[in-house]
Amino acid sequence: MAWRSSGASNRDLIENLWRNKLITHPQVKEAFLKVDRGHYAPSFAYDDSPQPIGHAATISAPHMHASAVEHLLPFLTPSETHPRRRVLDIGSGSGYLTHVMAELVGPEGTVVGIEHIAPLRDLGERNMGKSAEGRAFLESGRAKFRVGDGRKGGVEEGEEAEKWDAIHVGAAAAEVHDALLQQLKAPGRMFIPVDDEVEGWSQHIWCVDKDEKGEVTKRKLFGVRYVPLTDAPKA
């Protein structure tokens, strides 16, 4: 089904994802329509497939980004009780999903993309700056990019350890890291690919929920293949 979602333009791609029910929420569709994947994928921008972006990293297939946003949506959009959403995008890569989620968090929200490779951090920020909307998000602080070890979360040294409503992890983790669970709000949700225990040859997406009392539940969603969440390469 996913390969049928490719299109000749950004609108074609998103309309195909909608028609194939890979996007089901109107808010999600609108957010993706506002962000041109052509600013983020160096080739075949409107194919529903992953594309290399350098440094052994990829921009995920659009249907995977759509799935992430659909699952995280209740914790991305502002409400009367939660007007100021904070979202962490680990392994932000091209910056595409960071931008899409910034469209959803509202004017009081913040999305922080974190990368362990400085040139990829720079790439995400540069790509977002290709559109007027993206530049406005960067200038206002609605979207930010940082260099850091995503396995430790997104709190910088000396910064108040304010927690995250939603955490998206865009690379396969060896486990659901304790630091990420600790930084997840109650309630909050994490979307994370995790290596299976059987020799590490397969991975699954896990949806990790923390309820108001801090109780954590995990749901295995579907099999995937992501690049690993690792240390930055040595110079």
43 catalytic? Reply is no
**10 with 33: CB under 8 angstroms?**
yes
Angle formed at CA 201 by CA 169 and CA 227, multiple of 5 degrees: 35
Angle formed at CA 115 by CA 56 and CA 98, multiple of 5 degrees: 105
Return phi, psi of residue 159, to 5°: -90, 145
Q: How far apart are CA 148 and CA 155, in angstroms?
A: 9
DSSP 70-115: HHHGGGTS--SS--S-EEEEET-TTSHHHHHHHHHH-TT-EEEEEE
Choosing from 5, 60, 67, 92, which is the catalytic residue?
Answer: 60
Q: How many CA atoms lie within 13 A of 214 on its CB side?
A: 3
DSSP 8-state symbol, 38: G
Residues in contact with 16: Cβ distance below 8 Å, sequence separation at least 6, in sequence order:
4, 5, 6, 7, 48
Q: Which residues are catalytic?
A: 60
